[in-house]
Amino acid sequence: MKSIKGIVIGFGLSLWYPLVFAQGVYDIGVHDPVMIQHEGTYYLYCTGWGITAYSSKDLKTWTSEPRVFDKPPQWAKEAVTDFTGHIWAPDISFYDGKYYLYYSVSSFAKNTSAIGLATNVTLDPKSPNYQWKDQGMIIQSVPYRDLWNAIDPNIVVDEEGYPWMAFGSFWDGMKAVKLIPNRTAIAQPQEWKTIARRERSFELDDKDPGDAAIEAPFIFKKDTSYYLFVSWDYCCRGKESSYKVVVGRSESPLGPFIDREGKPMNQGGGTLVVEGNDRWAGAGHNSAYTFDGKDYLVFHGYDMQADGHAKLIIKEIKWSQDGWPEKIELKNK
């Protein structure tokens, strides 16, 4: 490691990464981060070859951990023929004594996509019981058949205890589909909902995702309300990225979600939570959690001072008196 003007920069996957820049911004490259707490340690999973993983004891210092997959799952290579192992947008949760890690495989800008599941009884790579077991494909989207895209999963449980998977990107918006109780397949008969979408400037078809960019749903419960966060506009373009996060609220985990002005999210509504500025080209694809009595928004931003590379950002959520997350302002310097 070397120090530059008080900032310690780590080289190599096995090094630790301290707090840099402004509070809550970290010098590790991530896309689409999700997080969970396990036996006093925070584990973070994000887009990467085989699914990238980090751990931390304090949400400040991060250590690289082994990737979830050493080689691409065979089913994924068959479902998405140009898939080579770069796995997108995981979602981590705990259920019935196991950790469930859902993940996305896809062709970029196409709805040739699928969501898979891997499980583990522990997240500690040093444990003798540590082993990710792939459970295969949960849902698949097919061009010329589906006007939705099977990426960006997030699990939410309804009032009756049934699990639902929220997911989606572009096309006809964010969907939610009911799962069987053990969360390994779609329930029959199938139940679907559209929980958020944006209007497009031209008729949607199978060949084009449309120009109303929306993706990455994440549903977070606060007191008796549920908040649907989604990302608008464009990721993955470095300095040209325009990502931002918006939110709506509902008394049901499946909506309808309404923004602060009263507009339903499935009709294009959304209240701004975070956006880019001169320093950050864009910021989005968030997850949200309560750790030790504090609520956090976890997301990535494209740092103009690092040639547009994505960085991990963790910010505490502050709430208004009427129960809305206050807008997060990113430092311009």
Which residues lie across from 137 on neighbouring strands? 116
**What tens-digit pLDDT sequence spans the chain (333 residues)?**
332 222 233 323 333 444 343 458 888 999 999 999 999 999 999 999 999 999 999 999 999 999 999 999 999 999 998 898 999 999 999 999 999 999 999 988 788 899 999 999 999 999 999 999 999 999 999 988 888 999 999 999 999 999 999 999 888 899 999 999 999 999 999 999 999 999 876 555 555 555 679 999 999 999 999 999 999 999 999 999 999 999 999 999 999 999 999 999 999 999 999 999 999 999 999 999 999 999 999 999 999 999 999 999 999 999 999 999 999 999 887
Q: What's the CATH code of the domain at 146? A: 2.115.10.20
The answer to whether residue 323 sits within a structural domain is no
| pLDDT (tens digit per residue) in 112-154 | 899 999 999 999 999 999 999 999 999 999 988 888 999 999 9
The catalytic residues are: 32, 215
- pLDDT attached to residue 202: 55
SS3 per-residue string spanning the chain: CEEECCEEECCCCCCEECEECCCCEECCCCCCCEEEEECCEEEEEECEECCEEEEECCCCCEEEECCCCCCCCHHHHHHCCCCCCEEEEEEEEEECCEEEEEEEEECCCCCCEEEEEEEECCCCCCCCCCCCEEEEEEEEECCCCCCCCCCCCEEEECCCCCEEEEECECCCCEEEEEECCCCCCECCCCCEEEEECCCCCCCCECCECCCCCEEEEEEEEECCEEEEEEEECCCCCHHHCCCEEEEEEECCCCCCCECCCCCEHHHCCCEEEEECCCCEEEEEEEEEEEECCEEEEEEEEEEHHHCCEEEEEEEECCECCCCCECCCCCCCC
Rounded CA-CA distance 35/27 in Å is 17
Global pTM value: 0.90
Q: Please report how many Cα atoms fall inside a 13 Å half-sphere around the Cα of residue 35, on the Cβ side.
A: 30
Rounded CA-CA distance 288/107 in Å is 27
Quote the domain boundaries for residue 274.
2-316
The answer to whether residue 321 sits within a structural domain is no
- Please count the structural domains in the chain: 1
The answer to whether residue 29 sits within a structural domain is yes
Q: The tokens of 301 are what?
A: 């931003």
The answer to whether residue 322 sits within a structural domain is no
The answer to whether residue 331 sits within a structural domain is no
The answer to whether residue 135 sits within a structural domain is yes
Rounded CA-CA distance 320/47 in Å is 32
The answer to whether residue 95 sits within a structural domain is yes
CA 299 to chain centre: 8
The answer to whether residue 222 sits within a structural domain is yes
